[in-house]
Amino acid sequence: MFLRPAHLACFALALILGPSIYAQDATLDQLLKKLPPPEKLVKSPVQQTLEADPALKDSLGNQIFRATIYHDYNRAVSLSQKLVQRYPKSAASHCLYGVVLMSEHNYRFAEVELKQTIALRRDFAVAYVFLGDAQAYQGHFGEAIATVQTLLKLRPKDAYPLVLLSAIEQRAGRKEEAVQAAKRATVLSPAYVSAWLELALAEKTAGRTEECLRALNSAANLSPDNAYLFEIIGFSYINLDRIAAAIPPLERAAAFRPHTVLVQAQLGFCLMETGRVQAGIDHLHLALQMAPGYSPAWEHLGLAYQKEGEHHDALKAFKRATELQPAYKHAWEHLAEEYRLAGKTADAADAAAHAQSIRPGHVDFIPKRR
């Protein structure tokens, strides 16, 4: 849940300088869509508290923004330092400088600037978010938790501080506390997708797979066009050996992202395993059209042809899988089986011997035949 350092400065500028600046460049908008923004913190309360800050009207702000867009962080640091020197009493300038320093992984000095921000303006909620991040990145989890708890007192009706608190609790190894913080976020804001995603991650970290899946499904219900979410849900069901349950989310993911190789391959595997063999073959072929070198899809295509009684095609598929990945133990075992069915006993013995020679512990890319 922590914001990625490379994007922190862009994110901070969008928060601090308001919508007029980031509307100038579509690239920033694309970046922000990939981040878990504290939605309620960017609304009018922050803007209202900063309207009178003279640093926001300085051209240096736009220059810093451009430097971060082009990843010129040395220039961004230098310009931010100038902004602070020009406006030493500006909370916004200190906050921006702190976040730019975080982009350079200079968390210790970033923490100093963010604390100065709060000293100048104690209701500056965004500064607490980044200060908590900076402290957590340094492993100062107790301080980070205290920072976020202060933010919670400032913004008791916002869910994002609880999401951030859950992430920090996880990093600190406090698994149950992380779960409880995320649950509080979902209760406070049940339509907040990031809260459900954080709860899913916290439940997974705590070893509760079913609870993780429930949270993921809640997130997916709120984000019905998010193919990535449906992919995760489908793959999770496969890992639990609940193959039939994996099909609907994978079909949903495939509808939105038809050119995703792993989705097509996994969906083909699941359909084949649950008796919809021809449909499974169709999806496996789609996967192999996009990635002809993906050996697990060849193995599962061979299994599908076996089910259909098309042993010649099954033999070719298994042979291709072993050519692409010589250490693929299960493909060699299936190839040996097909050679035996074809009456090629010598080839079957060679394939079986090769399978036996592969060291234990080899991990398949996708689930093997049960």
Question: Is residue 9 predicted with pLDDT exceeding 50?
Answer: no
pLDDT band at 57 (very low <50, low <70, confident <90, very high): confident
Same domain, 96 and 5: yes
Q: pLDDT tens digits, residue range 195-234? A: 998 999 899 889 998 999 999 999 999 989 888 889 989 9
Question: Is residue 39 predicted with pLDDT exceeding 80?
Answer: no
In a domain, 301, yes or no: no
Report helix, strand or coil for 149.
helix
Q: pLDDT tens digits, residue range 240-266? A: 899 999 999 999 999 999 999 999 999
10 exposure class (CB count in 10 Å sphere: 0-12, 13-18, 19+): buried
Domain encompassing residue 139: 1-158
Same domain, 82 and 167: no
Q: Which residue did the predictor score with more confidence, 53 or 358?
A: 358
Q: pLDDT tens digits, residue range 135-170? A: 999 999 999 999 999 999 999 999 989 999 999 999
Distance CA 125, CA 153 (A): 10
Same domain, 26 and 173: no
- Give the CATH number of the domain where residue 79 resides: 1.25.40.10
Same domain, 17 and 91: yes
Q: pLDDT tens digits, residue range 286-338? A: 999 999 999 999 999 999 999 999 999 999 999 999 999 999 899 999 999 99
Domain stops at, among 223, 255, 275: 223
| 3-state secondary structure labels for all residues of 76-132 | HHHHHHHHHHHCCCCHHHHHHHHHHHHHCCCHHHHHHHHHHHHHHCCCCHHHHHHHH
Angle separating helix axes 26-33 and 59-69, nearest 10 degrees: 60
Report helix, strand or coil for 349.
helix
pLDDT band at 346 (very low <50, low <70, confident <90, very high): very high
How high is the pLDDT of residue 78? 93
Count the domains in the chain: 2
Same domain, 113 and 202: no
12 token code pair: 């901070």
How high is the pLDDT of residue 104? 86
Same domain, 134 and 183: no
Same domain, 136 and 171: no
In a domain, 266, yes or no: no
DSSP string, 153-220: HH-TT-SHHHHHHHHHHHHTT-HHHHHHHHHHHHHH-TT-HHHHHHHHHHHHHTT-HHHHHHHHHHHH
pLDDT band at 360 (very low <50, low <70, confident <90, very high): low
